[in-house]
Chain A
Protein backbone atom coordinates (compact mmCIF):
# COMPACT_ATOMS: atom_id res chain seq x y z
CA UNK A 1 0.00 0.00 0.00
CA UNK A 2 2.81 2.37 0.91
CA UNK A 3 4.50 1.50 -2.36
CA UNK A 4 1.30 2.11 -4.24
CA UNK A 5 0.92 5.52 -2.71
CA UNK A 6 4.54 6.30 -3.49
CA UNK A 7 3.99 5.39 -7.11
CA UNK A 8 0.79 7.39 -7.20
CA UNK A 9 2.08 10.39 -5.39
CA UNK A 10 3.35 12.16 -8.49
CA UNK A 11 -0.03 11.58 -10.16
CA UNK A 12 -1.90 12.91 -7.16
CA UNK A 13 0.40 15.87 -6.78
CA UNK A 14 0.20 16.64 -10.46
CA UNK A 15 -3.59 16.52 -10.32
CA UNK A 16 -3.64 18.71 -7.28
CA UNK A 17 -1.33 21.20 -8.94
CA UNK A 18 -3.38 21.30 -12.09
CA UNK A 19 -6.67 21.74 -10.27
CA UNK A 20 -5.20 24.30 -7.89
CA UNK A 21 -3.72 26.27 -10.75
CA UNK A 22 -6.91 25.98 -12.72
CA UNK A 23 -9.03 27.37 -9.90
CA UNK A 24 -6.47 30.02 -9.08
CA UNK A 25 -6.67 31.50 -12.54
CA UNK A 26 -10.49 31.45 -12.56
CA UNK A 27 -10.87 32.66 -8.95
CA UNK A 28 -13.90 34.82 -8.32
CA UNK A 29 -14.48 37.04 -5.32
CA UNK A 30 -16.74 35.58 -2.64
CA UNK A 31 -20.42 35.91 -3.38
CA UNK A 32 -23.90 35.74 -1.90
CA UNK A 33 -27.49 35.79 -3.03
CA UNK A 34 -28.55 37.85 -0.02
CA UNK A 35 -29.44 41.49 -0.46
CA UNK A 36 -26.83 43.99 0.74
CA UNK A 37 -27.19 44.93 4.37
CA UNK A 38 -27.12 48.42 5.85
CA UNK A 39 -24.14 49.97 7.61
CA UNK A 40 -23.49 48.16 10.90
CA UNK A 41 -23.55 51.50 12.74
CA UNK A 42 -27.27 51.74 11.93
CA UNK A 43 -27.94 48.08 12.77
CA UNK A 44 -26.24 48.48 16.11
CA UNK A 45 -28.37 51.50 16.99
CA UNK A 46 -31.51 49.54 16.17
CA UNK A 47 -30.39 46.58 18.26
CA UNK A 48 -29.73 48.82 21.26
CA UNK A 49 -33.39 49.85 21.25
CA UNK A 50 -34.70 46.30 21.62
CA UNK A 51 -36.63 45.91 24.85
CA UNK A 52 -35.71 43.09 27.20
CA UNK A 53 -38.44 40.42 27.38
CA UNK A 54 -40.24 40.38 30.74
CA UNK A 55 -38.88 37.76 33.09
CA UNK A 56 -42.16 36.67 34.64
CA UNK A 57 -44.77 33.91 34.66
CA UNK A 58 -45.04 30.29 35.66
CA UNK A 59 -44.92 26.95 33.88
CA UNK A 60 -44.79 27.11 30.09
CA UNK A 61 -45.03 30.88 30.06
CA UNK A 62 -42.01 31.18 32.36
CA UNK A 63 -40.07 28.83 30.10
CA UNK A 64 -40.93 30.80 26.98
CA UNK A 65 -40.00 34.08 28.64
CA UNK A 66 -36.77 32.68 30.06
CA UNK A 67 -35.63 31.42 26.65
CA UNK A 68 -36.46 34.76 25.03
CA UNK A 69 -34.54 36.49 27.78
CA UNK A 70 -31.45 34.35 27.17
CA UNK A 71 -31.64 35.34 23.49
CA UNK A 72 -31.82 39.00 24.40
CA UNK A 73 -29.22 38.88 27.15
CA UNK A 74 -26.66 37.03 25.02
CA UNK A 75 -26.94 39.81 22.45
CA UNK A 76 -26.97 42.61 25.02
CA UNK A 77 -24.19 45.17 25.30
CA UNK A 78 -21.98 46.35 28.12
CA UNK A 79 -24.16 49.36 28.78
CA UNK A 80 -27.06 46.96 29.33
CA UNK A 81 -25.24 44.91 31.96
CA UNK A 82 -27.06 46.64 34.80
CA UNK A 83 -30.46 46.05 33.19
CA UNK A 84 -29.68 42.34 32.95
CA UNK A 85 -28.54 42.19 36.57
CA UNK A 86 -31.62 44.00 37.85
CA UNK A 87 -34.05 41.90 35.86
CA UNK A 88 -32.43 38.64 36.90
CA UNK A 89 -32.42 39.73 40.53
CA UNK A 90 -36.14 40.47 40.12
CA UNK A 91 -36.74 36.88 39.05
CA UNK A 92 -34.78 35.44 41.99
CA UNK A 93 -37.88 34.16 43.76
CA UNK A 94 -39.36 32.59 40.62
CA UNK A 95 -38.12 29.00 40.53
CA UNK A 96 -39.78 28.35 37.16
CA UNK A 97 -37.64 31.02 35.52
CA UNK A 98 -34.47 29.79 37.21
CA UNK A 99 -35.27 26.19 36.32
CA UNK A 100 -35.82 27.19 32.70
CA UNK A 101 -32.34 28.78 32.67
CA UNK A 102 -31.01 25.61 34.28
CA UNK A 103 -32.65 23.27 31.78
CA UNK A 104 -31.26 25.36 28.94
CA UNK A 105 -27.72 25.22 30.37
CA UNK A 106 -27.87 21.43 30.52
CA UNK A 107 -29.58 21.13 27.13
CA UNK A 108 -27.00 23.27 25.34
CA UNK A 109 -23.77 22.25 27.05
CA UNK A 110 -22.86 19.82 24.25
CA UNK A 111 -24.59 21.71 21.46
CA UNK A 112 -23.96 25.43 21.77
CA UNK A 113 -21.22 26.20 24.25
CA UNK A 114 -21.59 29.98 24.33
CA UNK A 115 -25.35 29.73 24.95
CA UNK A 116 -24.77 27.39 27.90
CA UNK A 117 -22.24 29.90 29.20
CA UNK A 118 -24.77 32.75 29.00
CA UNK A 119 -27.46 30.65 30.71
CA UNK A 120 -25.11 29.72 33.56
CA UNK A 121 -24.10 33.36 34.02
CA UNK A 122 -27.74 34.32 34.44
CA UNK A 123 -28.32 31.58 37.01
CA UNK A 124 -25.28 32.73 38.95
CA UNK A 125 -26.28 36.36 38.84
CA UNK A 126 -29.75 35.47 40.21
CA UNK A 127 -28.40 34.28 43.59
CA UNK A 128 -31.29 31.94 44.28
CA UNK A 129 -31.83 28.67 46.10
CA UNK A 130 -33.04 26.92 42.95
CA UNK A 131 -30.00 28.29 41.12
CA UNK A 132 -27.65 26.96 43.76
CA UNK A 133 -28.98 23.44 43.39
CA UNK A 134 -28.67 23.70 39.62
CA UNK A 135 -25.09 24.95 39.71
CA UNK A 136 -24.01 22.27 42.18
CA UNK A 137 -25.52 19.62 39.92
CA UNK A 138 -23.82 21.17 36.92
CA UNK A 139 -20.43 21.37 38.60
CA UNK A 140 -20.69 17.78 39.86
CA UNK A 141 -20.95 16.25 36.40
CA UNK A 142 -18.00 13.94 35.85
CA UNK A 143 -15.50 15.26 33.32
CA UNK A 144 -15.17 13.00 30.27
CA UNK A 145 -12.15 10.71 30.27
CA UNK A 146 -12.37 10.01 26.56
CA UNK A 147 -13.05 12.11 23.51
CA UNK A 148 -11.42 14.21 20.82
CA UNK A 149 -7.85 15.06 21.71
CA UNK A 150 -6.90 18.60 20.70
CA UNK A 151 -3.33 19.64 21.44
CA UNK A 152 -3.07 17.00 24.16
CA UNK A 153 -6.33 17.85 25.87
CA UNK A 154 -9.69 16.09 25.56
CA UNK A 155 -11.75 18.89 24.12
CA UNK A 156 -15.06 17.62 25.58
CA UNK A 157 -13.41 17.63 28.99
CA UNK A 158 -12.05 21.17 28.60
CA UNK A 159 -15.42 22.39 27.29
CA UNK A 160 -17.25 21.08 30.34
CA UNK A 161 -14.57 22.33 32.72
CA UNK A 162 -14.97 25.84 31.31
CA UNK A 163 -18.72 25.72 31.94
CA UNK A 164 -18.18 24.32 35.42
CA UNK A 165 -15.85 27.23 36.11
CA UNK A 166 -18.76 29.53 35.28
CA UNK A 167 -21.07 27.59 37.60
CA UNK A 168 -18.46 27.99 40.34
CA UNK A 169 -18.45 31.76 39.76
CA UNK A 170 -22.18 31.70 40.48
CA UNK A 171 -21.83 29.55 43.57
CA UNK A 172 -19.15 31.81 45.03
CA UNK A 173 -21.35 34.82 44.29
CA UNK A 174 -24.10 33.39 46.53
CA UNK A 175 -21.86 34.13 49.50
CA UNK A 176 -23.49 31.61 51.78
CA UNK A 177 -21.86 28.92 53.82
CA UNK A 178 -23.12 25.93 51.92
CA UNK A 179 -22.15 27.29 48.52
CA UNK A 180 -18.79 28.45 49.86
CA UNK A 181 -18.11 24.95 51.10
CA UNK A 182 -18.70 23.60 47.61
CA UNK A 183 -16.43 26.26 46.09
CA UNK A 184 -13.59 25.47 48.49
CA UNK A 185 -13.99 21.78 47.76
CA UNK A 186 -13.81 22.48 44.03
CA UNK A 187 -10.70 24.61 44.57
CA UNK A 188 -9.04 21.62 46.19
CA UNK A 189 -10.43 18.63 44.40
CA UNK A 190 -12.03 19.31 41.04
CA UNK A 191 -10.01 17.22 38.56
CA UNK A 192 -9.57 20.17 36.19
CA UNK A 193 -6.97 22.86 36.82
CA UNK A 194 -9.26 25.28 34.97
CA UNK A 195 -12.03 24.78 37.54
CA UNK A 196 -9.68 24.80 40.53
CA UNK A 197 -8.14 28.07 39.34
CA UNK A 198 -11.53 29.72 38.90
CA UNK A 199 -12.76 28.47 42.27
CA UNK A 200 -9.78 30.08 43.98
CA UNK A 201 -10.21 33.37 42.11
CA UNK A 202 -13.96 33.50 42.72
CA UNK A 203 -13.73 32.63 46.40
CA UNK A 204 -11.12 35.31 47.04
CA UNK A 205 -12.94 38.00 45.06
CA UNK A 206 -16.22 37.35 46.83
CA UNK A 207 -14.46 37.59 50.19
CA UNK A 208 -12.61 40.79 49.33
CA UNK A 209 -9.30 38.94 49.35
CA UNK A 210 -9.28 38.86 53.17
CA UNK A 211 -6.62 36.98 55.12
CA UNK A 212 -9.04 34.41 56.50
CA UNK A 213 -10.17 33.26 53.03
CA UNK A 214 -6.58 32.92 51.93
CA UNK A 215 -5.87 30.73 54.94
CA UNK A 216 -8.92 28.56 54.34
CA UNK A 217 -7.89 27.97 50.75
CA UNK A 218 -4.22 27.56 51.54
CA UNK A 219 -4.95 24.73 53.93
CA UNK A 220 -6.75 22.64 51.29
CA UNK A 221 -5.52 23.44 47.80
CA UNK A 222 -2.72 21.58 46.07
CA UNK A 223 0.74 22.73 47.11
CA UNK A 224 1.76 23.35 43.50
CA UNK A 225 -1.25 25.63 43.09
CA UNK A 226 -0.71 27.93 46.05
CA UNK A 227 0.47 30.48 43.52
CA UNK A 228 -3.14 30.82 42.37
CA UNK A 229 -3.78 32.69 45.62
CA UNK A 230 -1.61 35.51 44.26
CA UNK A 231 -2.67 35.24 40.63
CA UNK A 232 -3.14 38.67 39.12
CA UNK A 233 -6.71 39.51 38.22
CA UNK A 234 -6.86 42.32 35.74
CA UNK A 235 -10.01 43.98 37.06
CA UNK A 236 -12.10 45.70 34.45
CA UNK A 237 -11.45 49.46 34.41
CA UNK A 238 -8.47 49.13 36.74
CA UNK A 239 -5.99 51.88 35.90
CA UNK A 240 -2.61 50.71 34.71
CA UNK A 241 -0.69 52.30 37.58
CA UNK A 242 -2.31 50.14 40.23
CA UNK A 243 -2.18 47.00 38.10
CA UNK A 244 1.49 47.51 37.31
CA UNK A 245 2.28 47.97 40.98
CA UNK A 246 0.57 44.66 41.77
CA UNK A 247 2.46 43.00 38.93
CA UNK A 248 5.79 44.17 40.33
CA UNK A 249 4.90 42.72 43.75
CA UNK A 250 3.75 39.46 42.16
CA UNK A 251 7.00 39.01 40.25
CA UNK A 252 9.05 39.87 43.32
CA UNK A 253 7.13 37.43 45.51
CA UNK A 254 7.42 34.68 42.93
CA UNK A 255 10.82 34.93 41.27
CA UNK A 256 10.34 31.31 40.21
CA UNK A 257 7.77 32.32 37.61
CA UNK A 258 10.20 34.55 35.72
CA UNK A 259 10.72 32.71 32.43
CA UNK A 260 14.19 32.06 31.02
CA UNK A 261 15.36 34.39 28.28
CA UNK A 262 14.20 33.61 24.75
CA UNK A 263 16.49 31.65 22.46
CA UNK A 264 17.39 32.26 18.84
CA UNK A 265 16.70 29.45 16.40
CA UNK A 266 19.42 27.96 14.22
CA UNK A 267 19.59 30.23 11.20
CA UNK A 268 17.75 28.63 8.30
CA UNK A 269 18.57 30.30 5.02
CA UNK A 270 15.60 30.46 2.70
CA UNK A 271 16.08 28.32 -0.39
CA UNK A 272 15.50 30.44 -3.40
CA UNK A 273 16.39 28.28 -6.37
CA UNK A 274 16.09 24.76 -5.02
CA UNK A 275 18.66 21.99 -5.36
CA UNK A 276 20.72 21.60 -8.49
CA UNK A 277 19.58 18.83 -10.89
CA UNK A 278 20.94 15.34 -10.40
CA UNK A 279 24.20 14.84 -12.28
Chain B
Protein backbone atom coordinates (compact mmCIF):
# COMPACT_ATOMS: atom_id res chain seq x y z
CA UNK B 1 0.00 0.00 0.00
CA UNK B 2 2.75 2.33 1.01
CA UNK B 3 4.67 1.46 -2.11
CA UNK B 4 1.60 2.03 -4.21
CA UNK B 5 1.08 5.47 -2.63
CA UNK B 6 4.67 6.35 -3.31
CA UNK B 7 4.37 5.14 -6.87
CA UNK B 8 1.21 7.16 -7.38
CA UNK B 9 2.83 10.24 -5.92
CA UNK B 10 5.77 9.49 -8.15
CA UNK B 11 3.69 9.32 -11.26
CA UNK B 12 2.01 12.59 -10.34
CA UNK B 13 5.34 14.19 -9.65
CA UNK B 14 6.67 12.90 -12.96
CA UNK B 15 3.64 14.31 -14.69
CA UNK B 16 4.03 17.69 -13.00
CA UNK B 17 7.74 17.63 -13.75
CA UNK B 18 7.19 16.77 -17.40
CA UNK B 19 4.43 19.30 -17.98
CA UNK B 20 6.42 22.04 -16.31
CA UNK B 21 9.30 21.22 -18.62
CA UNK B 22 6.95 21.32 -21.57
CA UNK B 23 5.78 24.80 -20.60
CA UNK B 24 9.03 26.34 -19.47
CA UNK B 25 10.34 27.10 -22.91
CA UNK B 26 12.23 30.25 -23.80
CA UNK B 27 10.44 33.39 -24.92
CA UNK B 28 8.51 32.33 -28.02
CA UNK B 29 6.57 35.54 -28.51
CA UNK B 30 9.17 37.60 -30.31
CA UNK B 31 12.44 37.60 -32.20
CA UNK B 32 15.16 40.22 -32.17
CA UNK B 33 15.60 42.74 -34.96
CA UNK B 34 18.82 40.95 -35.95
CA UNK B 35 17.00 37.62 -36.17
CA UNK B 36 14.18 39.11 -38.22
CA UNK B 37 16.51 40.99 -40.55
CA UNK B 38 18.50 37.86 -41.32
CA UNK B 39 15.30 35.85 -41.63
CA UNK B 40 14.02 38.23 -44.30
CA UNK B 41 17.05 37.52 -46.47
CA UNK B 42 15.78 33.95 -46.96
CA UNK B 43 12.11 34.30 -45.98
CA UNK B 44 12.12 30.78 -44.53
CA UNK B 45 14.05 28.74 -47.04
CA UNK B 46 12.67 25.27 -46.50
CA UNK B 47 15.32 23.44 -48.46
CA UNK B 48 17.80 24.75 -45.93
CA UNK B 49 16.17 23.57 -42.74
CA UNK B 50 15.49 20.20 -44.33
CA UNK B 51 19.24 19.97 -44.75
CA UNK B 52 20.37 21.66 -41.57
CA UNK B 53 18.38 19.60 -39.07
CA UNK B 54 20.42 16.63 -40.25
CA UNK B 55 23.68 18.54 -40.47
CA UNK B 56 23.18 19.69 -36.87
CA UNK B 57 21.62 16.39 -35.78
CA UNK B 58 18.52 17.95 -34.28
CA UNK B 59 15.97 15.47 -33.02
CA UNK B 60 12.23 15.88 -32.98
CA UNK B 61 11.96 14.78 -29.35
CA UNK B 62 14.24 17.66 -28.31
CA UNK B 63 12.63 20.35 -30.47
CA UNK B 64 8.96 19.32 -30.55
CA UNK B 65 7.67 22.20 -28.44
CA UNK B 66 10.20 24.61 -29.92
CA UNK B 67 8.89 24.94 -33.44
CA UNK B 68 9.75 21.60 -35.04
CA UNK B 69 6.38 21.61 -36.83
CA UNK B 70 6.25 25.37 -37.12
CA UNK B 71 9.64 25.81 -38.72
CA UNK B 72 8.77 29.10 -40.43
CA UNK B 73 7.68 30.79 -37.22
CA UNK B 74 10.70 32.98 -36.55
CA UNK B 75 9.73 33.41 -32.88
CA UNK B 76 10.38 29.77 -31.99
CA UNK B 77 13.70 28.24 -30.98
CA UNK B 78 14.05 25.74 -33.82
CA UNK B 79 13.71 28.43 -36.52
CA UNK B 80 16.05 30.71 -34.57
CA UNK B 81 18.55 27.88 -34.37
CA UNK B 82 18.53 27.22 -38.10
CA UNK B 83 18.63 30.97 -38.77
CA UNK B 84 21.99 30.96 -36.97
CA UNK B 85 23.08 27.85 -38.90
CA UNK B 86 22.20 29.70 -42.11
CA UNK B 87 24.52 32.54 -41.11
CA UNK B 88 27.39 30.09 -40.52
CA UNK B 89 26.77 28.26 -43.81
CA UNK B 90 26.45 31.24 -46.15
CA UNK B 91 27.18 34.48 -44.28
CA UNK B 92 30.97 34.73 -44.29
CA UNK B 93 33.17 36.22 -46.95
CA UNK B 94 36.29 34.14 -46.23
CA UNK B 95 38.57 37.05 -47.06
CA UNK B 96 42.06 35.69 -47.61
CA UNK B 97 43.55 39.02 -46.62
CA UNK B 98 41.79 39.39 -43.35
CA UNK B 99 39.37 36.82 -41.95
CA UNK B 100 40.46 34.92 -38.86
CA UNK B 101 39.17 31.59 -40.07
CA UNK B 102 37.04 30.22 -42.88
CA UNK B 103 33.53 28.94 -43.32
CA UNK B 104 34.93 25.42 -43.56
CA UNK B 105 36.33 25.73 -40.01
CA UNK B 106 33.22 27.26 -38.52
CA UNK B 107 30.92 24.78 -40.22
CA UNK B 108 32.86 21.76 -39.07
CA UNK B 109 33.00 23.18 -35.56
CA UNK B 110 29.24 23.72 -35.32
CA UNK B 111 27.89 20.85 -37.38
CA UNK B 112 27.23 17.40 -35.96
CA UNK B 113 29.53 15.18 -37.99
CA UNK B 114 32.69 13.92 -36.35
CA UNK B 115 35.81 15.45 -37.88
CA UNK B 116 39.25 16.76 -36.99
CA UNK B 117 37.35 19.30 -34.89
CA UNK B 118 35.31 17.06 -32.59
CA UNK B 119 33.61 13.70 -32.27
CA UNK B 120 30.00 13.39 -33.44
CA UNK B 121 27.56 15.62 -31.59
CA UNK B 122 23.89 16.57 -31.59
CA UNK B 123 22.19 19.90 -30.88
CA UNK B 124 19.36 20.40 -28.43
CA UNK B 125 17.97 23.40 -26.55
CA UNK B 126 17.52 23.89 -22.83
CA UNK B 127 15.26 26.04 -20.67
CA UNK B 128 18.02 27.24 -18.38
CA UNK B 129 18.62 30.94 -17.94
CA UNK B 130 21.95 30.77 -16.13
CA UNK B 131 24.01 29.55 -19.08
CA UNK B 132 24.38 30.45 -22.73
CA UNK B 133 25.40 27.00 -23.83
CA UNK B 134 26.72 23.67 -22.67
CA UNK B 135 28.76 20.78 -24.03
CA UNK B 136 28.13 17.38 -22.48
CA UNK B 137 30.26 14.46 -23.57
CA UNK B 138 28.44 11.14 -23.53
CA UNK B 139 30.02 7.76 -22.97
CA UNK B 140 27.58 6.13 -25.35
CA UNK B 141 26.49 7.90 -28.50
CA UNK B 142 27.05 11.42 -29.75
CA UNK B 143 28.08 14.28 -27.49
CA UNK B 144 25.48 16.91 -26.66
CA UNK B 145 25.57 20.61 -27.52
CA UNK B 146 22.87 22.56 -25.74
CA UNK B 147 21.87 26.17 -26.30
CA UNK B 148 19.83 27.98 -23.65
CA UNK B 149 17.23 30.76 -23.46
CA UNK B 150 19.57 33.79 -23.30
CA UNK B 151 20.58 32.89 -26.87
CA UNK B 152 16.95 32.88 -28.01
CA UNK B 153 15.38 35.80 -26.13
CA UNK B 154 15.29 39.14 -27.95
CA UNK B 155 15.77 41.00 -24.67
CA UNK B 156 19.25 39.51 -24.31
CA UNK B 157 22.30 40.93 -26.06
CA UNK B 158 22.99 37.34 -27.09
CA UNK B 159 19.56 36.66 -28.60
CA UNK B 160 20.70 37.16 -32.18
CA UNK B 161 21.96 34.87 -34.96
CA UNK B 162 25.63 35.85 -34.66
CA UNK B 163 25.82 35.28 -30.92
CA UNK B 164 23.88 32.02 -31.18
CA UNK B 165 26.22 30.76 -33.88
CA UNK B 166 29.10 32.10 -31.80
CA UNK B 167 27.99 29.72 -29.10
CA UNK B 168 28.03 26.79 -31.56
CA UNK B 169 31.71 27.68 -32.00
CA UNK B 170 32.36 28.01 -28.28
CA UNK B 171 30.70 24.72 -27.36
CA UNK B 172 32.10 23.01 -30.45
CA UNK B 173 35.54 24.02 -29.22
CA UNK B 174 34.85 22.26 -25.93
CA UNK B 175 34.34 19.26 -28.20
CA UNK B 176 37.78 19.87 -29.67
CA UNK B 177 39.36 20.11 -26.20
CA UNK B 178 37.60 16.89 -25.26
CA UNK B 179 38.59 15.04 -28.42
CA UNK B 180 42.28 15.85 -28.02
CA UNK B 181 42.26 15.58 -24.23
CA UNK B 182 43.20 19.15 -23.30
CA UNK B 183 42.48 20.53 -19.86
CA UNK B 184 41.03 24.04 -20.15
CA UNK B 185 40.01 24.18 -16.50
CA UNK B 186 37.82 22.22 -14.14
CA UNK B 187 34.83 24.61 -13.99
CA UNK B 188 32.75 23.48 -16.94
CA UNK B 189 35.86 23.41 -19.13
CA UNK B 190 36.98 26.88 -18.02
CA UNK B 191 39.25 28.25 -15.32
CA UNK B 192 37.52 28.51 -11.97
CA UNK B 193 36.69 31.79 -10.26
CA UNK B 194 37.48 35.21 -11.73
CA UNK B 195 41.21 34.95 -12.43
CA UNK B 196 43.35 37.76 -13.83
CA UNK B 197 41.57 40.36 -15.91
CA UNK B 198 38.44 38.23 -16.40
CA UNK B 199 35.18 39.49 -14.92
CA UNK B 200 32.97 36.44 -15.54
CA UNK B 201 32.88 33.59 -13.04
CA UNK B 202 33.97 30.03 -13.79
CA UNK B 203 33.87 30.96 -17.49
CA UNK B 204 37.31 32.46 -18.10
CA UNK B 205 39.91 31.44 -20.66
CA UNK B 206 43.32 32.45 -21.87
CA UNK B 207 43.63 34.22 -25.19
CA UNK B 208 46.26 32.56 -27.37
CA UNK B 209 47.12 35.42 -29.71
CA UNK B 210 47.89 34.56 -33.32
CA UNK B 211 48.37 36.56 -36.47
CA UNK B 212 45.99 36.85 -39.40
CA UNK B 213 46.71 34.03 -41.83
CA UNK B 214 48.48 31.93 -39.20
CA UNK B 215 45.88 29.23 -39.80
CA UNK B 216 44.96 28.42 -43.39
CA UNK B 217 41.23 28.05 -43.90
CA UNK B 218 40.37 24.57 -42.69
CA UNK B 219 43.33 24.38 -40.31
CA UNK B 220 41.77 25.87 -37.19
CA UNK B 221 41.85 22.46 -35.51
CA UNK B 222 45.64 22.34 -35.65
CA UNK B 223 47.92 22.97 -32.67
CA UNK B 224 51.58 22.50 -31.92
CA UNK B 225 50.76 21.95 -28.27
CA UNK B 226 52.16 25.30 -27.18
CA UNK B 227 50.61 28.68 -26.45
CA UNK B 228 51.83 29.84 -29.87
CA UNK B 229 49.33 27.73 -31.73
CA UNK B 230 46.31 26.99 -29.61
CA UNK B 231 42.75 28.29 -29.07
CA UNK B 232 40.35 28.55 -26.17
CA UNK B 233 36.54 28.41 -26.53
CA UNK B 234 35.98 32.13 -25.82
CA UNK B 235 38.75 32.99 -28.27
CA UNK B 236 37.29 30.97 -31.16
CA UNK B 237 33.97 32.64 -30.39
CA UNK B 238 35.44 36.15 -30.48
CA UNK B 239 37.24 35.44 -33.76
CA UNK B 240 34.06 34.10 -35.34
CA UNK B 241 32.04 37.11 -34.16
CA UNK B 242 34.67 39.49 -35.57
CA UNK B 243 34.53 37.65 -38.89
CA UNK B 244 30.75 38.10 -38.95
CA UNK B 245 31.09 41.79 -38.09
CA UNK B 246 33.99 42.67 -40.40
CA UNK B 247 34.03 40.14 -43.24
CA UNK B 248 30.45 39.05 -43.89
CA UNK B 249 28.89 38.38 -47.28
CA UNK B 250 27.64 41.61 -48.80
CA UNK B 251 23.99 40.86 -47.97
CA UNK B 252 24.37 40.24 -44.23
CA UNK B 253 22.19 42.86 -42.50
CA UNK B 254 23.66 45.66 -40.42
CA UNK B 255 21.79 44.65 -37.26
CA UNK B 256 23.42 41.19 -37.42
CA UNK B 257 26.89 42.73 -37.86
CA UNK B 258 26.35 45.28 -35.09
CA UNK B 259 25.18 42.66 -32.61
CA UNK B 260 28.12 40.39 -33.49
CA UNK B 261 30.66 43.17 -33.02
CA UNK B 262 29.14 44.26 -29.75
CA UNK B 263 29.27 40.69 -28.44
CA UNK B 264 32.85 40.19 -29.64
CA UNK B 265 34.12 43.41 -28.08
CA UNK B 266 32.35 42.83 -24.76
CA UNK B 267 33.58 39.26 -24.57
CA UNK B 268 37.13 40.27 -25.51
CA UNK B 269 37.15 42.74 -22.62
CA UNK B 270 35.53 40.52 -20.01
CA UNK B 271 36.32 36.85 -20.62
CA UNK B 272 40.08 36.58 -20.71
CA UNK B 273 42.51 36.09 -17.88
CA UNK B 274 45.23 37.69 -20.00
CA UNK B 275 42.76 40.04 -21.68
CA UNK B 276 41.83 42.10 -23.47
CA UNK B 277 41.60 40.09 -26.64
CA UNK B 278 41.33 41.71 -30.04
CA UNK B 279 38.81 44.42 -30.71
CA UNK B 280 37.17 44.09 -34.09
CA UNK B 281 36.38 46.79 -36.60
CA UNK B 282 36.69 50.38 -35.52
CA UNK B 283 34.64 52.43 -33.08
CA UNK B 284 32.82 54.50 -35.70
CA UNK B 285 29.14 54.40 -34.74
CA UNK B 286 27.98 53.28 -38.23
Point out the residues of chain A lying under 8 angstroms from B282, CB to CB: 205, 233, 235-236
Contact with B along A102-120 (1 / 0, CB 8 A): 0000000011111101101
Contact with B along A19-46 (1 / 0, CB 8 A): 1100110011111111011111001100
Tell me, yes or no, whether B104 is within 8 Å of chain A by CB: no
In the complex, which residue of chain A has the Cβ closest to the Cβ of B284? A173
Q: Find out whether the CB atom of A11 lies under 8 angstroms from the CB atom of B11.
A: yes
Q: Find out whether the CB atom of A262 lies under 8 angstroms from the CB atom of B230.
A: yes
Complex Cα spacing A180 to B139, Å: 57
Could you say which of A53-61, A213-221, A240-248 contacts chain B?
A240-248
Could you say which of A90-98, A138-146, A190-198 contacts chain B?
A190-198
Complex Cα spacing A155 to B155, Å: 10
Q: Find out whether the CB atom of A152 lies under 8 angstroms from the CB atom of B203.
A: yes
Point out the residues of chain B lying under 8 angstroms from A268, CB to CB: 181
Tell me, yes or no, whether B152 is within 8 Å of chain A by CB: no
Complex Cα spacing A124 to B129, Å: 32
Tell me, yes or no, whether A224 is within 8 Å of chain B by CB: yes
Q: Find out whether the CB atom of B6 lies under 8 angstroms from the CB atom of A4.
A: yes
Q: Find out whether the CB atom of B71 lies under 8 angstroms from the CB atom of A232.
A: no
Q: Find out whether the CB atom of B72 lies under 8 angstroms from the CB atom of A74.
A: no
Q: Find out whether the CB atom of A259 lies under 8 angstroms from the CB atom of B45.
A: no
Partner of A112, one of B155, B256, B263: B155
Q: Find out whether the CB atom of A113 lies under 8 angstroms from the CB atom of B71.
A: no
In the complex, which residue of chain B has the Cβ closest to the Cβ of A117? B258
Q: Find out whether the CB atom of A121 lies under 8 angstroms from the CB atom of B150.
A: no
Partner of A258, one of B253, B257, B274: B274
Tell me, yes or no, whether B250 is within 8 Å of chain A by CB: yes
Contact with A along B236-254 (1 / 0, CB 8 A): 0000001000101011111
Complex Cα spacing A77 to B257, Å: 9
In the complex, which residue of chain B has the Cβ closest to the Cβ of A206? B283
Q: Find out whether the CB atom of B129 lies under 8 angstroms from the CB atom of A148.
A: yes
CB proximity of B168 to chain A, nearest CB, Å: 17
Tell me, yes or no, whether A231 is within 8 Å of chain B by CB: yes
Complex Cα spacing A90 to B242, Å: 30
Tell me, yes or no, whether A202 is within 8 Å of chain B by CB: yes
* Interface size class, chain A: 35 or more
Beyond A113-B155, A150-B131, whether A12 also contacts B265 by CB under 8 A is: no
Point out the residues of chain B lying under 8 angstroms from A85, CB to CB: 286
CB proximity of B157 to chain A, nearest CB, Å: 5
Using a CB-CB cutoff of 8 Å, which residues 182-204 of chain B contact chain A? 182-184, 194, 197, 199-203
In the complex, which residue of chain B has the Cβ closest to the Cβ of A267? B181
Q: Find out whether the CB atom of B285 lies under 8 angstroms from the CB atom of A169.
A: yes
In the complex, which residue of chain B has the Cβ closest to the Cβ of A22? B61
Complex Cα spacing A239 to B37, Å: 30
Point out the residues of chain B lying under 8 angstroms from A224, CB to CB: 197
Tell me, yes or no, whether B266 is within 8 Å of chain A by CB: yes
CB proximity of B124 to chain A, nearest CB, Å: 11
Residue of A34, A79, A206, A267 with most chain B CB atoms under a 10 A cut-off: A34
Partner of B279, one of A28, A231, A259: A231
Tell me, yes or no, whether B125 is within 8 Å of chain A by CB: no
Point out the residues of chain A lying under 8 angstroms from B197, CB to CB: 224
In the complex, which residue of chain A has the Cβ closest to the Cβ of B3? A7
Complex Cα spacing A11 to B12, Å: 11
Using a CB-CB cutoff of 8 Å, which residues 164-192 of chain A contact chain B? 165-166, 169-170, 172-173
Tell me, yes or no, whether B222 is within 8 Å of chain A by CB: no
Q: A residues engaging B (CB < 8 A)?
A: 4-5, 7-8, 11-12, 15, 19-20, 23-24, 27-34, 36-40, 43-44, 47-48, 73-81, 84-85, 88, 110-115, 117-118, 120-125, 148-153, 155, 158-159, 161-163, 165-166, 169-170, 172-173, 193-194, 197-198, 201-202, 205-206, 224, 227-228, 231-240, 243-244, 247-248, 250-251, 256-268, 270-271
14 contacts between A and B (CB under 8 A): A15-B14, A30-B53, A43-B40, A113-B157, A114-B32, A118-B258, A122-B285, A151-B132, A163-B157, A170-B285, A198-B269, A235-B282, A261-B227, A264-B183
Known A37-B46, A77-B250; 16 more pairs at CB < 8 Å: A4-B13, A28-B60, A32-B69, A75-B40, A112-B155, A125-B286, A148-B130, A150-B130, A151-B130, A152-B199, A159-B156, A170-B285, A233-B279, A233-B283, A235-B282, A262-B226
